[in-house]
Amino acid sequence: MSDFRMPSLGADMEKGTVVEWLKKPGDRIARGDVVAVVETQKGAFEVEVFENGVLSEIVVPVGTEVPVGAVLARIDSGEPKPAAAPAPPPAEVPAPSAPLPALPPLPPPRPAGERLRLSPAASRRAAELGIDPHGLAGSGPGGAITLADIEAVAARAARPGAEKGRRGFDPAAMRQAIASAMARSKREIPHYYLGLPIDMSRALQWLAVENARRDVENRLLAGVLLLKATALALREVPELNGFWLDGAPRLSAGIHVGWAISLRGGGLMAPAIHDADGKTVDELMAALRDLVIRARTARLRGSEMTDPTVTVTSLGERGAERVYGVIYPPQLAIVGFGAVRPAPAVVDGVVAARPTVYATLSGDHRASDGVSGSRLLAAIDSRLQVPERL
C-alpha cells in the first residue's frame, strides 16, 4: 500500500484542487497513467502515477483544495507496506509575527571589575585544587588570573617547608598572599575610619620610671602598652573582636591580637598574641620579642596566622603620624598607631606640647558602626591614662 500525494507542479505551487478523478477505486493502474486532474493557480494539470497497482481508495474528493504533499489516494501495489510507527506530531512553531515584540528594558551594564578575570583553564584548575581565586593577583592579559597563577598558589600550599622552614620565606609568595588578602578586604569589606590623638605623657612617664629600675633586656617598649590598652579596650567593645563569616559577625570570646610585623625581606605578617588582655605587660613583652624573632626567621606556627581576632599595627618611632589600616579578612577591625611625637595639645585651656600618638580604627561597617569604633578608641585612650593598671 502506498500513498498518492498532491504533487508539486512548480516551485511556487503550495496547494491544488482535485477537479476530476480519472480512475475509480478498484481500477488497475500502471506507471504513467493519468489518474486525476488538478487545478492550480497556473491552470489545470493532468497528474500521473509512478507505480503499478490497484487504486484502493480515493481520499480527497473532487473540488477539495489541499496542500502539496497531502495524500490524495491510496494505491495497493501488492507489496506489504512496512508498519511504520506513527510519527509524533510536529511541535507547534509559532508563525513569525510581523512586528517585533517590544523589548523589556535591558539590565544596566555590570560595573567594570565586578567579574573575576579568570582564564577557563585557571578556573577549572582552581576548582580541582579547591583554591579560591578571588583576590589573587593575575599575571595574564588585562590582569587575568592564569593557570600558572593558580598553580603557584598550589605549589606554595604544597610546600610546608616554606612556612616552618629555616631558610626564610619566599618574598614573591608573601607579596602574593598580601595582594590576595588586601584585595579581598578592599573588595568585600566596607571600611569606616576613625582617628583620635592620644596624650602619651603619663604612659611614657610611667614607662621611663619602670624601665629605669629594670635590666636592659627586661625593659618595656611603648608598643606593649598600646597593645595591652587595645586588648583591654576590646573587652569593653566586644563587637569589634571576631570575624565576619557567612554573612554575619561571629564575635570571639578570646582576644587574640594579631601584631603586625614587617619582615626584612619585604612583606608583612600579623601573628597572634593569644589572650592578650589577660597577659601582664612583661608577658606581652616576652611574647612580642618571641614573635618578632620567629616571624623574621619564618618559624611561626600556622595557628598563629589564623587565630588573630583583631589586628594592631604600630608604626614605631620612625613611622608616619597616622596609619589607616586595611582589615585582614575575615577580622572585623584593625587598630593603628602612628609614631609618638610631640604635638600641641590643649590641657586645662592652655596649649602645651605633649607626646602624642595618633590612634586610628578601621572597622567593618557590616559588623559595627562608628559609634562602636569611637568607644573603642576612647577606651584605649582612657586605659593609656592609667598606665600602672595596664
Partner 1 sequence: MSGRRKTTYREAVREAIREAMKRDPRVFLMGEDVARYGGCYAVSKGLAQEFGEERIRDTPLSESGFVGAGIGAALGGMRPIVEVMSVNFSLLALDQIVNNAATIPHMSGGQFAVPLVIRMATGSGRQLAAQHSHSLEGWYAHIPGLKVVAPATLEDARGMLWSALEDPNPVLIFEHVQLYNMEGELDDDAGAVPISGAAIRRPGRDLSIVTYGGSLSKCLAAATALAAEGIEAEVVDLRSLRPLDDATIMASVARTRRALIVDEGWRSGGISAEISARIVEQAFYELDAPPARLCGVEVPIPYPKHLEDASVPQAESILAAARELVRPGPA
The reply on whether position 124 binds partner 1 by CB under 8 A is: yes
Closest by Cα among 199, 207, 249 to 224: 207
What minimum distance in Å lies between the beta carbon of 151 and partner 1?
11
- Gap between the Cα atoms of 238 and 353, Å rounded: 34
Residue 353 found at the interface with partner 1 (CB under 8 A): no
Residue 305 CA to residue 52 CA, distance in Å, equals 92
Segment near partner 1 (CB under 8 A); pick from 144-152, 189-197, 263-271, 347-355: 144-152
Closest approach of Cβ 266 to partner 1, in Å?
A: 21
Nearest to 334, CA basis, from 305, 320, 313: 313
Kindly tell me which residue out of 7, 45, 53, 146 binds partner 1, with binding defined by CB under 8 A.
146
- CB 244 within 8 Å of CB 366: yes
**Contact call for residue 298 and partner 1 (CB under 8 A):** no
By CB under 8 A, residue 126 contacts partner 1? no
- The nearer residue to partner 1, 139 or 297, going by C-beta atoms, is 139
Q: Quote the radius of gyration of the chain (alpha carbons, Å).
A: 43
Q: Cβ(204)–Cβ(210) under 8 Å?
A: no
CA atoms of 358 and 340, how far apart (whole Å): 8
17 neighbors 92 (Cβ within 8 angstroms):
no
Kindly state the DSSP code that residue 238 receives in the 8-state scheme: G
Indicate the residue among 90 and 113 with the shorter CB distance to partner 1: 113
DSSP 171-187: HHHHHHHHHHHHHHHHH
C-beta separation of 303 from 311 below 8 A: no
Q: Is residue 189 close enough to count as binding partner 1 by CB under 8 A?
A: no
81 SS3 class: coil
To partner 1, the closest distance from the beta carbon of 128 in angstroms equals: 11
Using CB under 8 A, pick the residue from 34, 147, 181, 281 that binds partner 1.
Answer: 147
Residue closer to partner 1 by CB (options 121, 386) is: 121
Q: Does 120 bind partner 1 (CB under 8 A)?
A: yes
Residue among 122 and 359 whose Cβ is closer to partner 1: 122
Q: What type of residue is 127?
A: A
CB count within 10 Å of CB 170 equals: 19
Examine residue 113 and tell whether it contacts partner 1 (CB under 8 A): no
Only segment of 98-106, 120-128, 192-200, 379-387 that touches partner 1 (CB under 8 A): 120-128
Least CB distance from residue 148 to partner 1, whole Å?
8
Q: Judged by CB under 8 A, does residue 19 bind partner 1?
A: no
Q: Establish if 148 lies at the interface with partner 1 (CB under 8 A).
A: yes
Q: Which of 144, 178, 343, 378 binds partner 1 (CB under 8 A)?
A: 144
The reply on whether position 139 binds partner 1 by CB under 8 A is yes
What is residue 277's DSSP assignment? Answer: G
Please state the closest distance from residue 124 (CB atom) to partner 1, in A.
5
Q: How far is the CB of 140 from partner 1 (least distance, A)?
A: 6
Angle subtended at Cα 342 by Cα 340 and Cα 345, rounded to the nearest 5 degrees: 110
Residues binding partner 1: what is the number (CB under 8 A)?
15
Specify the residue, 119 or 313, whose C-beta has the smaller distance to partner 1: 119
CB atoms within 10 A of CB 223: 19
**Beta-ladder partners of 347:** 350
Residue 141 binding partner 1, by CB under 8 A = yes
Binding residues vs partner 1 (CB under 8 A)? 119-124, 139-144, 146-148
